[in-house]
Structure 1
Amino acid sequence: MASQLLEREQHISWRQFNNYWASQSFAQAAGQVLNVGFPLIAAALLDLRPSEVAVTTSLQFIPYLVVTPIAGIIVDRVNRIRLVMACHALRAVLLALVGLLAANGSLSALVLWLTVFLAGALNALASVGTLALVPDLAPEGGLAKANSRLQLSMSITQVIGPSAAGLLLAISGNLVFFAIALAFGIAAAMIVRTRAREVQKESGPADSWLATIVAGARFVRRTTTLWVLLLQMTLFNLFEQAVITLFMLFALRELDLDSTQVGLVFGAGAIGSVAGAWLAPRFTSARGISTILLLSTGLASIAPCALPFVPQGSPIVSIAVSGLTFCFYGFGLTVFNVHSNTLRHELAPRELQGRLAAVFRTSAFTSIALGAALGGMLAEHIPFRTAIGTACTGLVSAFVLFAILLTRATSSTTSGP
């Protein structure tokens, strides 16, 4: 009887999480189309200059740096389900209104930029809430499986998002806004039915916002494994973004690939990510999660080292070699992300999950922005192959540092009193 009751509770818990997973799948699909759709709309629908298109792209990511630290506090102080639902609903309304303006020929660059910024702010808030909700919804012992499902949706939408944005824009520029608004509306409607476990809110007078942000950062610093993960993620994103920026230029200017062929290469990386998300929960190690983290991030860090040696002269060979490289990279990175997120959820109390997610995401987007700048700087001063090799050296060096620090952290935990 007890086992049947436990099985029933597990079934109900997974049903709740799967409902949330479906909602997030619609939201992630809308977000991916949006990321590509905004620059395309700026270039094709409004015929903006290249510098203005660059402003459009930048405005998508600036809110992440501004809003994310504050988002961690909000997520830990309010009902997380309602917060994420409100973010979905507000984006649906915002994009539907902008779609009406576009249909009437009233859409201007200023309105588009304001929309991009507001949507980016809501995206930043919703992404922190999404990460913090996983421990509240996942059944006992099911964190890795839950994180894997969310990563799977993200990987699939990364494959279809750019193509969907281009197709919708080709049919009708206004259709992009309404299609994304519909997807966010469905996500908001589906999450209404989700019920999460209550999170114990902090008692007593509330600290200042600055003190609350600092408390989240201090928790990461006091927890050795967490700050080792944070350091690795920061360094990896820095050099990874440099590699991606350099490879795009290298592929277009020296390998003579066109934009469609470059898209195929990155599509191979997305396919590797889908495989990684699907298989990640099946990876176990007698030596613990640290072994999986080391093997997966090692693959993601070492695989790009093949890029400086991609042969020139045959587009088919260039696409095959670089595509296989990105496939292995995407597989390793996604396996690492699934188990890293799971470990972070396990190490922090549920009432701190929002601030923990905010610390990691703020660091991630900062290092991505710096990595893109680093890639551009390297391309200005040294040949592409040398520049990619330099960035890959940074990736491998960061991995070696991570392996040393994680091994020490694991050893000290195992041999503790």
Structure 2
Amino acid sequence: MTSTTTAPETPVGWGAFNRYWVSQSFAQAAGQVLNVGFPLLAAEFLKLRPSEVAATTALQFIPYLVITPIAGLIVDRVHRVRLVQLSHAVRGLLLLGAGLLAGAGHLTAPVLWGTVLLAGALNALASVGTMALVPDLAPEGGVAKANSRLQLSMSVTQVIGPSLAGLLLAFSGDLVLFAIAAAFALAAVMIMRTRVPRVADTDRTREPWLRSFAAGARFVRQTTTLWVLLLQMTLFNFFEQAVITLFMLFALRDLGLTSAQVGLVLGAGAVGSVVGAAVAPRFKTAKGVTQILILSIGLASVTPVLLPLIPQGSTVLAMVMSSITFCFYGFGLTVFNVHSNTIRHELAPRELQGRLAAVFRTSAFSSVALGAGFAGVLAEALSLRTSIACACLGLILSFCLFTLLLTRTQRDARVTTRT
């Protein structure tokens, strides 16, 4: 049997978390440039076909299928801050090397795909560590506010990252890679100052690896609210990634936008995410969490329907309509993420945070990879406009299923409580 010794908790303020928050902001900025920069490099710099551009996007997330479950077990057994720092530093070196190859004219599709795959593996490791650190660093009772701050950083970088990726690519492909490398290097330097002030000794367990590995999945299976959230995030990410991948191609090839304009559209749309992150903690006191989850993810799921309705022939109209769409989408998704992440952190013990994060990351991000591949299949079989409409329909159907399941779960919980 495993024995877990809990270190005495000491009162802490926001200092340690805020230092971590700064570091994570640099890493999130790098990640946002990376997510948009790789597909744009494939489409504009290397002139790859639609299916190859979709494959480039998918390769960023395929490692989540393999690395993330293992990462959850590692994160619950090692020093989490140092693990995240190492992943930042290695990603910086990897992207620096790719930038040097691009500058020398030696960046080919296989080299780009190899870089994308390795960066995706490190992203998977870092993302699990990042989520697991929140309960350790946030002051008591401050988990929702901590998640809101991280989402605020992500939202701001969503404004800056796509625009920066498009603008840098307009000058040179290697500048995109150099910018990402620099941001990861800054993240690694800043996290050096972070200390975990309150540490519940994690399950540095003598339990067999396989049994420990499955603990996160068992916990989700036994907690109905968590598996409903897991199902929704998986389906949403699948169709969302298909929409975004198809929209970039649709905007470039049918609507006549440049890569810089696509970056500006995605960045302008993320303004809604900034607002959502700022106001999300206040919603919990105004309405029940169930209502907030349904309304917020409903907004994020329905608004993309406007994208396939954008007419050709007017660049200004295309940019305005798509920016408004992504703005409302970003607002809803961010509010949903703040509250769903908080539920996960509050329901699970600290020694399971890494493995619980791994379960959600494995399912959610592997569905992103599959969604990007699905986008490639649709783009080859149908027009880009029709393909986006199909992906939007998937978003709406998954939202309807989530609403039904979550409402039923909460109703059953109330009946059980009265009984």
> Is TM-score (shorter-chain normalized) higher than 0.5?
yes
**Structure 2 residues without counterparts, runs of 5 or longer:** 1-9
| Alpha-carbon shift at residue 151 of structure 1 (Å) | 1.2
C-alpha displacement of 1:139 = 1.2
Partner of 2:143: 143
Distance 1:101 1:255 in 2: 32
Instruction: Confirm whether residue 206 of structure 1 aligns to residue 207 of structure 2.
Output: yes
Aligned position for 1:291: 291
Residue correspondence of structure 1 range 219-234 to structure 2 within 5 A: 219-234=219-234
Question: For the structure 1 residues 166 and 354, does the alpha-carbon distance in structure 2 shift closer, same or farther, using more than 3 Å as the test?
Answer: same
The change in CA–CA distance for 1:205 and 1:297 in structure 2 (over 3 A counts) is: same
Offset at residue 120 of structure 1 (A): 2.4
Structure 1 unmatched runs, 5+? 1-8
For structure 1, which segment, 85-94 or 167-176, has the greater mean C-alpha deviation from structure 2 after superposition? 167-176
User: 1:265 Cα shift?
Assistant: 3.1
Q: Distance in 2 between matches of 1:101 and 1:374?
A: 30
Name the residue aligned to 1:414.
414
Number of the residue aligned with 2:6: none
- The separation in 2 between residues aligned to 1:377 and 1:49, in whole angstroms, is 15
Seen in structure 2, the aligned counterparts of structure 1 residues 391 and 95 have a Cα distance that, compared at 3 Å, is: closer
Paired with 1:392 and 1:13, the residues of 2 have a C-alpha distance of 43
One-letter amino acid of the counterpart of residue 13, structure 1: G
Query: What residue number does 1:320 align with?
Result: 320
Deviation at 1:42, TM superposition (A): 6.8
Distance 1:112 1:13, change over 3 A: same
Which amino acid in structure 1 is aligned with residue 326 of structure 2?
F
**Contact 1:225–1:409 under 8 Å retained in 2:** yes
Query: Deviation at 1:278?
Result: 1.8
Cα deviation 1:156-189 (Å, max 9, x = unaligned): 2222223434555666766555544443233222
Flag the 1:295–1:255 CA change in 2: closer, same or farther, 3 A: same
Structure 2 residue 398 is matched with structure 1 residue 393: no
- Aligned residues: CA RMSD: 3.2
Question: Is contact 1:308–1:386 with CA below 8 Å preserved after alignment?
Answer: yes
**Cα 1:136–1:180, aligned 2, differ >3 Å: closer, same or farther?**
same
* Alignment map for 1:89-100 (pairs within 5 Å): 89-96=89-96
Q: Report the alpha carbon displacement of residue 76 of structure 1 after superposing the two structures with TM.
A: 0.9
* 1:265 corresponds to: 265
Measure how far apart 1:227 and its partner are. Answer: 0.3
8 Å Cα contact 1:285/1:292 also seen in 2 = no
How far apart are 1:293 and its partner, in Å? 0.6
- AA partner of residue 189 (structure 2): A
- Superposed displacement of residue 281, structure 1: 1.7
Distance of aligned partners of 1:299 and 1:172 in 2 relative to their CA distance in 1, 3 Å threshold: closer
TM superposition shift of 1:364 = 1.3
Deviations 1:311-331 (A, max 9, x none): 444333333223212211111
Shift of 1:282: 2.2
Q: CA deviation at 1:272?
A: 1.4
Query: Structure 1 stretch 78-87 or stretch 259-268: which is displaced more?
Result: 259-268
- Which is worse superposed, 107-116 or 25-34? 107-116
Aligned-partner Cα distance in 1 for 2:44–2:386 = 35
Tell me how far 1:304 sits from its aligned partner: 1.9
| Secondary structure, aligned partner of 1:13 | coil
**Structure 1 residue aligned with 2:80:** 80
Answering whether residue 299 of structure 2 is matched by residue 305 of structure 1, we say no
Instruction: Indicate the SS of the match to 1:193.
Output: coil
> Contact 2:99 / 2:174 at 8 angstroms: preserved in 1?
yes
Structure-2 change in CA distance of 1:203 and 1:17 (3 Å): closer
Question: Per the alignment, do residues 380 and 324 of structure 1 end up closer, same or farther by CA in structure 2, a change over 3 Å counting?
Answer: same
Q: Which amino acid aligns with 1:185?
A: A
Quick one: higher RCO (CA 8 Å, sep 6+), 1 or 2? 2
- Quickly say closer, same or farther: Cα 1:403–1:127, change in 2 above 3 A: same
Aligned length: 406
> How many angstroms apart in 2 are the aligned matches of 1:41 and 1:262?
13
Partner SS for 1:139: coil
CA distance in 1, matches of 2:232, 2:263: 27
- Alignment correspondent of 1:336: 336
Compared CA separation, residues 211 and 280, structure 1 to 2 (3 A): same
Aligned to 1:372: 372
Per the TM alignment, residue 361 of structure 1 is displaced from its structure 2 partner at its CA by: 1.2
Post-superposition shift, 1:131?
0.7
2:7: which partner in 1? none
Letter in 2 for 1:200: D
Distance 1:103 1:163 in 2: 21
Residue 70 of structure 1 is matched in structure 2 by 70
Q: Between the two proteins, what is the percent identity of the paired residues?
A: 68
Q: 1:194 to 1:241 in 2, by over 3 A?
A: same
| In structure 1, C-alpha distance between the alignment counterparts of 2:334 and 2:48, rounded to whole Å | 36
Question: Given that residues 285 and 291 in structure 1 are in contact (C-alpha distance below 8 angstroms), is that contact kept between their aligned partners in structure 2?
Answer: no
Deviation at 1:349, TM superposition (A): 1.0
Quote how far apart the aligned CAs of 1:371 are: 2.2
User: Which residue of structure 1 lines up, in the alignment, with residue 351 of structure 2?
Assistant: 351
SS at match of 1:284: helix
